[in-house]
Amino acid sequence: AERLLADPAWETEPEVLAMVLRDLPTLADAPSPSPTFHLTAQPDDEWLAMYQSRTDALPAEALQSLGAHIEGPLGFGRLVLDGETVTIARGTLSESGDGTAWLGLSNVEVAANSRRRGFGTLLGQHLLRWGRDNGAEHAYLTVPASNTAGVRLAEKLGFIEQHRRVYARLRG
């Protein structure tokens, strides 16, 4: 595979880590009510505003797919501090072929002025608690290998690397 990828006829996407958390921990309630945790079954306007702020405007179809039914319940979590959304993430509950319930975490975003303050970790804990309360036994997520802060956040929550992947396609 490495020889194939060295061929200039191929282009690759960035390397991605798949990380898992076996046996969701029992987490204590948040030590304080601030920031406030909000969880909805569909992305609300505030959630979408933060999600869209990280990239160019998304087409309507892409926005609709965020809340599309996958397999199980969806949870769109966000933390609000002083009336402002400081972090968002999406949780998805699903079941593997052997009947094991999983929580998938995705679309994690922390406001630029709120980074390195523990908000991502706190939101992750809230969503892990939501997953456990709804039957999830394990959790998974993916993060670009180059996203050091994202990898550290996942590790802080107890996730470990399961595997890495790189997608390749022929140029032209």
Amino acid identity at 118: G
* Mean pLDDT, residues 69-74 taken together: 78
Of 4-8, 26-30, 141-145, minimum mean pLDDT range: 26-30
59 — pLDDT class (breaks 50, 70, 90): low
For residue range 78-97, list pLDDT tens digits in order.
Answer: 999 999 999 999 999 999 99
In 149-167, which positions are buried (b, 16+ CB within 10 angstroms) versus exposed (e)? ebbebbeebbbeeeeeeee
**pLDDT value at 168 more than 80:** yes
Asked if 103 contacts 128 with a C-beta cutoff of 8 angstroms, the reply is yes
> pTM to 2 decimals?
0.85
* Mean pLDDT, residues 7-28 taken together: 86
Q: Rounded to an integer, what distance in angstroms lies between the CA atom of residue 60 and that of residue 6? A: 37
